[in-house]
Amino acid sequence: MIRGSDATGYPEDMTVEVNAELIAETARTRDGASVFDRLERLLPLVSKPIQYVGGEVNAVHTDWEAADVRWAIMYPDAYEVGAPNQGVQILYEVINERPDALAERTYAVWPDLEALMREHGVPQFTVDGHRPVGDFDVLGLSFSTELGYTNMLTAIDLAGIPLHAVDRTIDHPIVLAGGHAAFNPETISDFIDAAVLGDGEEAVLLITDIIKEWKLTGRPDGRIGLLQQLAKTGVVYIPQFYDVEYLPDGRIMRVTPNHAEVPWRVRKFTLMDLDAWPYPKAPLVPLAETVHERMSVEIFRGCTRGCRFCQAGMITRPVRERSITGIAEMVQNGLEKTGYEEVGLLSLSSADHSEIADVARNLADRYEDSQTSLSLPSTRVDAFNVDLANELSRNGRRSGLTFAPEGGSERMRKVINKQVTEEDLIRTVTTAYAAGWRQVKLYFMCGLPTETDDDVLQIATLAREVIKAGRAVTGRRDIKCTVSIGGFVPKPHTPFQWAAQLDHESTDSRLHKLRDAIRQDREYGKAIGLRYHDGKPGIVEGLLSRGDRRVGRVIEEVWRQGARFDGWSEHFDYERWMAAAQVGLAGTDVDVDWYTIRERQQNEVLPWDHLDSGLDSEWLWEDWQDALEEVAVDDCRWTPCFDCGVCDQMSTQIEIGPTGVVDLPMPVVSRPSFVATGGGA
């Protein structure tokens, strides 16, 4: 994803020298002393200084000396993006609830502050205690996207931690990657000590236990001893304990453990009972402006709809719902602790919760006379209905209703297994327009496997039908529809992991044809907004998501040439990435095209094959073949199991209602005017 920003840019020809002096200094201290007095002097010189001061409502301050194990948790993007991140907030609380551990947060600093920190020797710091990140036992990074990798390198370097894992000593933190992008951490394997796949709540507790034991027993066998203890669990991946061999044509021949007691495959964590983990219990309320200013409650985890492009859906299987009472308690508690006036019910597809109608009605009843609004930031076309529309629009305010048909043509939607028909879409938008919405947003992808120009041009036809339906049901001319299109990037652990990515020139050409078709539509074109980005960032994302260890040299090279904040359009520089790829991949038989626009065969060893998401490789391959034959597969929530492998391998199962609870034991809140809104993806 590429973002826009008004943040300060970095010097144009910025290159990076590893700060050896800072490394030495940080390695000496490790007492967690605040660097705020040194930082404070720099803040008047940078943009948005408030993002570096912390002080959020519900921030936790734990005594440094009282903790046996200390975590610095990083979201490798700007504070305004990272602060609302649910994953970070959950882990922050889970760790801080332990009397023997502490967690503080750190975010990517903008290049203006980075330059000053380098000049004045201020290390990467946490926003809680403004302590040097290099003083902690663990630097845990949560990656939502691969485009945060260069920000990780900046943070490691500013923390005084050697860039390469093999150069670190017992004095340096363990650099640990998690989040969706960590399901293929091979491209960053030079820079991380460890990676964890899947849900983080139990993982951070297990790792804390192991580090505590290692420290209290005199750090047996040093840093390697600790990494061995972590690897032995079978759920913490230590890249340096695996060797990768390549075939003469560049493909991987095999990946083998090089240490005793290290498993051949590393499993993912799956948390089964969401009600037992009602985090965050006290969500953070930042002082600075952030991208989401609302209280969020995760109403279920996982998705079994089986959209073939969707890595999040595949790697978070199976579906595990939070109960209707668990949701209500989190909403009530979170609102009391934060004062927020909007509640987002989060999941990969919120309206798919088996009891969403009761959840929405109960919450709408409870907050009817208050200022509190309710939103579903992610709603499937076929799960939105009149009742839900009525609950979401009770008392009036309606904004941000987004649906994601993803593919423009019926054929394309069969290929990607997005079982949404044109009739579904028209029925849904008609419901929304009739309930008072004047604008809906439709999200599509370009560059999907087997896609033709015609598939993409049908997006214009669909948008036209949407406007037509809206005008018919409302009798108004001010109906709007925004079409937003992203370039498709094939991801690991999905049926499309073998697919060829579309080159950026073809992506751009298709998008321009679509733009022209909408412009030429005299009757409806002006009511259709079109938002798209060019195809170049997708190629870099593709290189990073399906790359192997050889891509690490590209990441380091581009970072040394000044790459930062690659998820932000004004900072992303495609030419710099391609130049770095020339340097980083020199001497190998592979290049960017090889990693991106090349289709893989079934017998190819994929870089992430030794990382077990629970999905059976045979099942993924069959699903890929089904995609090519345009065969759809149902949602296993409601049908017999399709044997994707997850439930068997992980000893898990689908966890859904009905709970038998219809009315919540919650008193009605009486404040002025309840407002409900809808939203979605």
Give least dist CB 582 to ligand SF4, A.
42
Is 246 among the residues that bind ligand SF4 (CB under 6 A)?
no
Give least dist CB 643 to ligand SF4, A.
6
Q: What whole-number distance in Å separates Cα of residue 649 and Cα of residue 432?
A: 41
Whole-number Cα distances in Å, 145 to 142, 149, 182, 566, 597? 9, 8, 9, 10, 20
Is 644 among the residues that bind ligand SF4 (CB under 6 A)?
yes
Give least dist CB 636 to ligand SF4, A.
3
Binding track, positions 608-637, relative to ligand SF4; x by CB under 6 A: ----------------------------x-
- Site size toward ligand SF4 (CB under 6 A) is 11
Query: In this structure, what token pair is assigned to residue 632?
Result: 């759809």
Give least dist CB 610 to ligand SF4, A.
21
Is 348 among the residues that bind ligand SF4 (CB under 6 A)?
no
* CB-nearer residue toward ligand SF4: 98 or 267: 267
Q: What whole-number distance in Å separates Cα of residue 545 and Cα of residue 149?
A: 11
Nearest Cα to 616, choosing from 586, 590, 581, 641?
A: 641
Q: What whole-number distance in Å separates Cα of residue 246 and Cα of residue 426?
A: 51
Q: What whole-number distance in Å separates Cα of residue 609 and Cα of residue 254?
A: 10
With CB under 6 A as the contact rule, the residue among 70, 317, 394, 571 that binds ligand SF4 is 317
Is 313 among the residues that bind ligand SF4 (CB under 6 A)?
no
* CB-nearer residue toward ligand SF4: 294 or 320: 320
With CB under 6 A as the contact rule, the residue among 198, 318, 449, 490 that binds ligand SF4 is 318
* CB-nearer residue toward ligand SF4: 594 or 619: 619
Phi/psi at 52 (5° precision): -105, 0
* CB-nearer residue toward ligand SF4: 64 or 642: 642
Quick check: 658 and 637 in contact, CB under 8 A? Answer: no
* CB-nearer residue toward ligand SF4: 246 or 642: 642
Nearest Cα to 19, choosing from 218, 126, 166, 155?
A: 155
Binding to ligand SF4 (CB under 6 A): which residues in 279-308?
304
* CB-nearer residue toward ligand SF4: 22 or 303: 303
Residues 6+ apart with CB under 8 A from 455: 407, 408, 409, 411, 412, 448
Give least dist CB 272 to ligand SF4, A.
12
Q: Which stretch binds ligand SF4 (CB under 6 A): 128-136, 208-216, 424-432, 646-654?
A: 646-654
Nearest Cα to 90, choosing from 274, 360, 342, 352?
A: 274
Residues in the chain: 681
| Type of residue at 164 | H
* CB-nearer residue toward ligand SF4: 94 or 647: 647
Q: Which stretch binds ligand SF4 (CB under 6 A): 55-63, 177-185, 336-344, 643-651?
A: 643-651
Q: Which stretch binds ligand SF4 (CB under 6 A): 78-86, 192-200, 346-354, 638-646?
A: 638-646
Q: What whole-number distance in Å separates Cα of residue 489 and Cα of residue 503?
A: 10
Is 340 among the residues that bind ligand SF4 (CB under 6 A)?
no
Quick check: 112 and 47 in contact, CB under 8 A? Answer: yes
* CB-nearer residue toward ligand SF4: 200 or 645: 645
In a 3-state reduction of DSSP, which class is residue 317?
Answer: coil
Residues 6+ apart with CB under 8 A from 17: none
* CB-nearer residue toward ligand SF4: 284 or 315: 315
Residues 6+ apart with CB under 8 A from 539: 501, 503, 504, 574, 592, 596
Q: How many CB atoms lie within 10 A of CB 34?
A: 15
Give least dist CB 627 to ligand SF4, A.
16
* CB-nearer residue toward ligand SF4: 581 or 636: 636
Give least dist CB 304 to ligand SF4, A.
5
Is 642 among the residues that bind ligand SF4 (CB under 6 A)?
yes
Is 654 among the residues that bind ligand SF4 (CB under 6 A)?
yes
Residues 6+ apart with CB under 8 A from 460: 514, 517, 518, 521, 528
Q: What whole-number distance in Å separates Cα of residue 417 and Cα of residue 443?
A: 16
With CB under 6 A as the contact rule, the residue among 57, 224, 631, 641 that binds ligand SF4 is 641
- Site residues, ligand SF4 (CB under 6 A): 304, 317-318, 636, 641-644, 646-647, 654
